[in-house]
C-alpha cells in the first residue's frame, strides 16, 4: 500500500504508475535471478522512462524516502583487479542515511591472514533539485575498523578495499549522486563526476 501511495505521488496518470510497477518487478526479478547486466540495466532504464521523478523531488520528500538502512544489491561497474580480488574479499556493503549525513560500511576479509572488519565512509550531504534531483556529499573521513588487531598493513587494507568497491562509495565528495528512483524498499542511484558527465555507476539498494 505504501509503495502504491508513493508511486501515485509521482504521477496522477494510472498508465505511468502501471509502467513503473511493471519495470520495478522486472528489475527485482532480474536481481533475484542473477540475470546478466544488460537485463538489469534495461530494467533500470525502463523505470527511469516510466517515472517522472524530477518534479516531485522536494527536499523533505527525498529526506523521508531515503532515510534508514540500506544494502547494496547491485552496481553496474567495479574496477577491482585480480590482485585486489586475491588480497581482499568484500562480503557486504551497507549504508545508513540520515537527513544530512550518510555512513557507508564495507565488510571485508583477508583470505591469506584471516583479518576481517569494516571500512566506514562518513559523509555530510545536501540535496539539490536542479538540474536533476541529486545529493552533493562532503567526505568526513574513512574509518578502518578491524575485528581484531591487524596482522596486515592498514594502508594496504584500505587501498585494496577502495579498489574493490564502486569509485563513488570511497570518494563520495568527487561524484554527484543522482536519485533516479525510490520507494519504501528500493532505491536506484546514478553516480557521475558531474551533472553533465558520463555515468560512472548505477546502484540498486534494498532496504534492510
Q: What is the mean pLDDT of residues 111-129?
A: 91
CB 191 within 8 A of CB 176: yes
Percent helix, strand and coil across the chain, each rounded to 5?
A: 35, 35, 25
Q: Does the pLDDT value for residue 56 go beyond 90?
A: no
Model pLDDT for residues 124-160, shown as the tens digit of each residue: 988 877 777 778 889 999 999 999 999 999 999 999 9
- pTM of the predicted protein model: 0.82
* pLDDT above 90 coverage of the chain, percent: 40
Q: CA-to-CA distance for 80 and 176, rounded, in angstroms?
A: 21
* pLDDT above 70 coverage of the chain, percent: 83
Q: Where in the chain is the domain with CATH 2.40.128?
A: 68-207
Q: CA-to-CA distance for 37 and 155, rounded, in angstroms?
A: 32
Q: Does the pLDDT value for residue 200 go beyond 70?
A: yes
Widest distance between CA atoms in the chain: 59
Model pLDDT for residues 76-105, shown as the tens digit of each residue: 865 555 556 678 999 999 999 998 899 999
Q: What pLDDT does residue 10 have?
A: 46
Query: 68-207: what CATH class?
Result: mainly beta
Amino acid at each position: 500500500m505504501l509503495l502504491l501511495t508513493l508511486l501515485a505521488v509521482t504521477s496522477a496518470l494510472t498508465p505511468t504508475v502501471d509502467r513503473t510497477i511493471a519495470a520495478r518487478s522486472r528489475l527485482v526479478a532480474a536481481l533475484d535471478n542473477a540475470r546478466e547486466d544488460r537485463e538489469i540495466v534495461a530494467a533500470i532504464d525502463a523505470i527511469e522512462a516510466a517515472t517522472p521523478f524530477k518534479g516531485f523531488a522536494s527536499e523533505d520528500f527525498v529526506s523521508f524516502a531515503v532515510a534508514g538502512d540500506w544494502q547494496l544489491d547491485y552496481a553496474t561497474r567495479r574496477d577491482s583487479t585480480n590482485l585486489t580480488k586475491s588480497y581482499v574479499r568484500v562480503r557486504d556493503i551497507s549504508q545508513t542515511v540520515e537527513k544530512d549525513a550518510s555512513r557507508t560500511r564495507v565488510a571485508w576479509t583477508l583470505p591469506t591472514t584471516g583479518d576481517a572488519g569494516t571500512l566506514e565512509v562518513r559523509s555530510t550531504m545536501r540535496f539539490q533539485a536542479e538540474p536533476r534531483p541529486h545529493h552533493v556529499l562532503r567526505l568526513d573521513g574513512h574509518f578502518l575498523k578491524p575485528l581484531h588487531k591487524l596482522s596486515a598493513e592498514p594502508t594496504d587494507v584500505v587501498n585494496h578495499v577502495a579498489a574493490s568497491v564502486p569509485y563513488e562509495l570511497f570518494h563520495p565528495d568527487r561524484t554527484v549522486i543522482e536519485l533516479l528512483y525510490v520507494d519504501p524498499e528500493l532505491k536506484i542511484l546514478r553516480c557521475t563526476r558531474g551533472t553533465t558527465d558520463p555515468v560512472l555507476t548505477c546502484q540498486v539498494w534494498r532496504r534492510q
